[in-house]
Amino acid sequence: MTTPLDYRSAGVDLDKADDAKGRIKAHVESTRTSGARGSFGGFGGMFRVPSGFRAPVLVSSADGVGTKLKVAIEAGVHDSVGRDLVNHCVNDILVMGAVPLYFLDYVAFGKLDPAVVEGVVAGVAHGCREDACALLGGETAEMPGLYTPPDYDLAGFITGIVEEDGVLGAERVCDGDVLVALASAGLHTNGYSLARKIVAEAMQLGVHDPFPAEDGATVAEVLLRPHVTYLPALRFVLGRVHGMAHITGGGLPGNVNRMLPSHLDAAIELTSWSVPNVFVQLQAAALVGAREMFRTFNMGVGMVIACAADDVADVQAAAAAAAIPSWIVGAIRPGSGVVHLLSHGD
């Protein structure tokens, strides 16, 4: 060889990596909470376990935002998926009764773009501030040959805390419990492989085209609506709740069953709410069957809560205070751990 090789010639630009770190520093530091220790740029993040707990249990989870990333990339809007990532993870530990402590993110590129990194991390920081969760650190990787620009991948890792005797689960759910639904803001972070296929092939729309019956909102605006965090609606009523299901991949039947003991069923009344327009349009455009829709999408329900009848009013009042619509969606009854989607109260 006549020309010396370096890392840049192999596809990794260290100057861009340094630029990206400089851009995200303020965003990361904006999320610091009283438990955060250390400074930006360390090899690891540190967090002091809060005092005042009798028997604290740490709850951790990891997730991504799926092919919603493709919509963000095509639209050139990157902060929303960062916020989605945090909110999704917060909701996943919330169903166990835990509130968040800290968060880590991972972003991987084929060709690093510092502006995109900043957009993503700005969204992550927004979500962390919204949920009083410290962004302790993360990783930004450039891996040429593994991802094709402008594609990138995004993942998040969260740790929360709950008193051991406050952990929520199937063992707390009782016969006669009422099921309360909290509204979603759209697709959240699931079903995008099917939704994108319907939009592109059946509806023949691009991300900047108007979405049908959405008052002029574009496809990107509709599909990038944020994944709601339910922490503000539920933080102060967790002691009134017996069980919760975050409605993600698998829809209502594939998530509500996760909070059921083997001797109880969930009866969900489909006529208790109006399915939002985005799902109606996707189903009509591609003739998707109702069963497939309810297994793939949340259909307007982001969280389902099981609680005693006497506590329904307080749970719904807390949701209203957080500006999240709620309604009674069904009940728990004797059975065998099955979710029933009912159309006529049967």
Q: What is the pLDDT of residues 206-243, one digit of tens each?
A: 999 999 999 999 999 999 999 999 999 999 999 999 99
Q: What is the pLDDT of residues 175-209, one digit of tens each?
A: 999 999 999 999 999 999 999 999 999 999 999 99
Among 100, 135, 166, the domain boundary falls at: 166
Give the whole-angstrom CA distance, residue 117 versus residue 140. 8
> What's residue 245's pLDDT?
98
Phi, psi of 190 (to 5 degrees): -135, 150
The overall average pLDDT reported for the chain is: 92
- Residue 73, pLDDT above cutoff 60: yes
Average pLDDT over residues 302-313: 98
> What's residue 5's pLDDT?
64
> What's residue 36's pLDDT?
81
Q: How confident is the model at residue 63 (pLDDT cuts 50, 70, 90)?
A: very high
Per the rule left: phi > 0, alpha: psi between -120 and 50, beta: everything else, 287 is: left
> What's residue 127's pLDDT?
96
Query: 7-11, 67-71, 256-260: which range is least confident on average?
Result: 7-11
- Residue 283, pLDDT above cutoff 70: yes
Average pLDDT over residues 249-263: 96
Do the domain assignments include residue 43? no
Q: Which two three-digit tokens encode residue 191?
A: 């079903």
Residues 178 and 162 reside in one and the same domain: no
Do the domain assignments include residue 3? no
Residues 81 and 225 reside in one and the same domain: no
Residue range(s) defining the domain that contains residue 269:
170-342
Residues 147 and 202 reside in one and the same domain: no
Average pLDDT over residues 152-160: 96
Residues 80 and 228 reside in one and the same domain: no
CATH code for the domain in which residue 140 is found: 3.30.1330.10
Do the domain assignments include residue 72? yes
Query: 2-6, 290-294, 321-325: which range is least confident on average?
Result: 2-6
Residues 122 and 22 reside in one and the same domain: yes
Is omega for the bond preceding 150 within 30 degrees of 0, making it cis?
yes
Contacts of 147 (CB under 8 A, 6+ apart): 108, 109, 110, 153
Residues 152 and 185 reside in one and the same domain: no
Average pLDDT over residues 297-309: 98
> What's residue 322's pLDDT?
97
CATH code for the domain in which residue 176 is found: 3.90.650.10
> What's residue 38's pLDDT?
79
Residues 161 and 187 reside in one and the same domain: no
Q: How confident is the model at residue 336 (pLDDT cuts 50, 70, 90)?
A: very high
Average pLDDT over residues 308-329: 97
Q: Tally the domains of the chain.
A: 2
Structure-derived torsion over alpha carbons of residues 166, 134, 78, 210, reported in degrees to the nearest 10: 40
Residues 273 and 195 reside in one and the same domain: yes
Rounded to the nearest 5 percent, the helix, strand and coil shares of the chain are: 40, 25, 35
Do the domain assignments include residue 282? yes
> What's residue 328's pLDDT?
98
Give the whole-angstrom CA distance, residue 258 versus residue 118. 36
Q: Is residue 128 classed as helix, strand or coil in its secondary structure? A: helix
Q: How confident is the model at residue 31 (pLDDT cuts 50, 70, 90)?
A: confident
Q: What is the pLDDT of residues 93-104, one digit of tens each?
A: 999 999 999 999
- Residue 47, pLDDT above cutoff 60: yes
**Closest alpha carbon to 238 in 124, 161, 149:** 161
Do the domain assignments include residue 48? no
Q: How confident is the model at residue 343 (pLDDT cuts 50, 70, 90)?
A: confident
> What's residue 13's pLDDT?
66
Cβ(322)–Cβ(233) below 8 Å? yes
- Residue 4, pLDDT above cutoff 80: no
Residues 149 and 195 reside in one and the same domain: no
Residues 212 and 174 reside in one and the same domain: yes
Q: How confident is the model at residue 344 (pLDDT cuts 50, 70, 90)?
A: low
> What's residue 176's pLDDT?
96
> What's residue 3's pLDDT?
72
Average pLDDT over residues 74-78: 95
- Residue 21, pLDDT above cutoff 80: no
Average pLDDT over residues 149-159: 95
